[in-house]
Amino acid sequence: MDDLFSDAAERSIERSAPLAARMRPRTLDEFVGQRDVVGPGTVLRSAIELDALSSVILYGPAGCGKTSLARIIAGVTKSHFTELSAVSSGVKDVRAAIDAARDRLGQSGRRTIVFIDEIHRFNKSQQDALLHAVEDRLITLIGATTENPFFEVNAPLISRSRVMVLQPLSDEDIRDIVRQALTDAERGLGGTVSLSKEAEDRIVLSAGGDARAALTSLELAASVAPADARGLRRVEIDQVAEATQTRQLTYDKSGDAHYDIISAFIKSMRGSDPDAAVYWLARMIDGGEDPKFIARRMLIFASEDVGMADPQALLVAHAAVKAAEFIGWPECRINLGHAVVYLALAPKSNAAYLAIDAALTEVRQGPARSVPDHLRDRRRPGGEAYPAYKYPHDYPGATVEQQYLPEGLEGRRFYRPSGT
């Protein structure tokens, strides 16, 4: 009787779950996207189908299928599925899951998959609590993270796992998922909702590769769409626009997106592409990046990549720094945009940057060298004068031949103008 009540309760919970949860794929054939990772013939798919999977860490953006894939793996391998959240679970919960997995393996021979969402939030002691169980194959760990695991997960745990990189879903993947939800009468909206082409396009665009966001938008838009006499709700672009008032692109001011986008921004300016540079600037602005951070990187760029090809660039970048400090968002976007276009279009030279680094290498790795006597600032001990310094302004053109580098570096060139 308890099982009957439990099954009925579980079915009731499933029916009331959000559309994104109800439409989770149940098999690898239903799983949309990530063909390079779990498509036919891939190593991971073969390991799953042969029930030979070792622990894995799934690394990818939100809504790309990490949790769904973990559940599918548990279903295909007929393993017990235990889900822990790094936000709410501690070492005690990890140890309890491992103890239960040990008992389960010993009593019935059934293995356990422990799925840890946001595993990058686990601290060192929590991650260490997993090590022996993973190494001894008491559990199969599946960790999910939106942050680079090589930075956020302990090296011993990484070495015992396989890191699989999942990509944002393509627009066509999102479109397929939305259409599945519209036709699936058992778990989705099949027979109750229709979607105009414009509305579908808006959902796909606003999702930004996030299947969960797409299905949530569809469900919300369907809930506000008027029903006809047959009870069919026709979703138009107005309902979708109401349900997806803002499009959220991936941007985390301390995560991978932050570093990837600033890298793309710098490289676009270095490549003299003002259109790409202002696009990446806009991504940072839309993500709420600190304008002073952006301006500081531009100030570095002005000397590192433009340098002596256009010394004025340093002044323009410095003015952008002051604008970011003094004005702030939203108005300083104009100043930053002005400076970005200038820097992208400026001629490029890294000769001054290479010069200081070459000189630093000599200072740090070469022998200690003395200042030439005629450049010193004092008289010799005992009152004897150093050799006379030749004052350049006493000579035509304010230039005069004399040794300025230390002994042993005569003729050494650190600064080499671009093209020489």
Confidence of residue 1 (pLDDT cuts 50, 70, 90): very low
Q: Is the pLDDT of residue 269 over 90?
A: yes
CATH class of 256-345: mainly alpha
- Of the pLDDT bands very low, low, confident and very high (cuts 50, 70, 90), residue 379 is low
Encoded amino acid at 383, one letter: G
**How do the domains of the chain map onto residue ranges?**
34-165, 171-243, 256-345, 368-420
pLDDT of residue 86: 78
3-state secondary structure 202-237: HHHHHHCCCHHHHHHHHHHHHHHCCECCCCCEEECH
243 — pLDDT class (breaks 50, 70, 90): confident
Residues 6+ apart with CB under 8 A from 49: 28, 76
Mean pLDDT of 134-151: 87
Mean of the per-residue pLDDT values for the chain? Answer: 86
pLDDT above 60: residue 383: no
pLDDT tier for residue 14 given thresholds of 50, 70 and 90: low
Domain 171-243, CATH class in plain words: mainly alpha
Q: Which residue, chain included where needed, has tokens 């279903």?
A: 75
The pLDDT of 144-154, averaged and rounded, is 84
Amino acid 5: pLDDT: 46
pLDDT of residue 340: 96
Residue 251's pLDDT band, with cuts at 50, 70 and 90, is low
Q: Judge whether 358 and 413 are in contact, CB under 8 Å.
A: no
Q: Does domain 34-165 have CATH number 3.90.550.10?
A: no
Per-residue pLDDT band at 380 (split at 50, 70, 90): low
> How much of the chain is in helix, strand and coil states, percent to nearest 5?
55, 10, 40
The model's pLDDT over 310-320, given as tens digits with 9 standing for 90+, comes to: 999 999 999 99
**Between 338 and 249, where is the model more confident?**
338
Lookup: tokens for 354: 């290479």
pLDDT band, very low/low/confident/very high, at 248 (cuts 50, 70, 90): low
Element at 267 (helix H, strand E): helix 256-270
> Average pLDDT of 126-133?
86
* CATH topology agreement for domains 34-165 and 256-345: no
Which residues are CB-contacts of 41 (< 8 A; sequence separation ≥ 6)? none
With a pLDDT cut of 70, the percent of the chain lying above it is: 91
| Residue percentage of the chain with pLDDT more than 90 | 25
Instruction: For residue 330, say if its preceding peptide bond is cis, omega within 30 degrees of 0.
Output: yes
Please report the pLDDT score of residue 261 as a whole number.
87
CB-based contact 55:142 (threshold 8 Å):
yes
Q: What is the reported pLDDT for 51? A: 81
pLDDT tier at 295, thresholds 50, 70, 90: very high
Q: Name the pLDDT band for 252 (thresholds 50, 70, 90).
A: low
Encode pLDDT of 386-413 as tens digits: 678 888 888 898 888 888 899 888 888 8
Cα 118 to Cα 83: distance, rounded to the nearest angstrom: 11
Amino acid identity at 204: V
pLDDT at 2: 47
pLDDT of residue 387: 78
Q: 158-203 pLDDT, tens per residue?
A: 888 888 988 888 899 999 999 999 999 888 888 888 889 998 998 8
Q: Return the minimum-mean-pLDDT range out of 11-20, 184-193, 277-286.
A: 11-20
Task: Give pLDDT, residue 48.
Answer: 87
pLDDT at 107 over 70: yes
Cα–Cα distances (Å) from 209 to 32, 34, 69, 174, 395, in that order, read 12, 12, 16, 7, 69
- In this prediction, residue 206 carries a pLDDT of 83
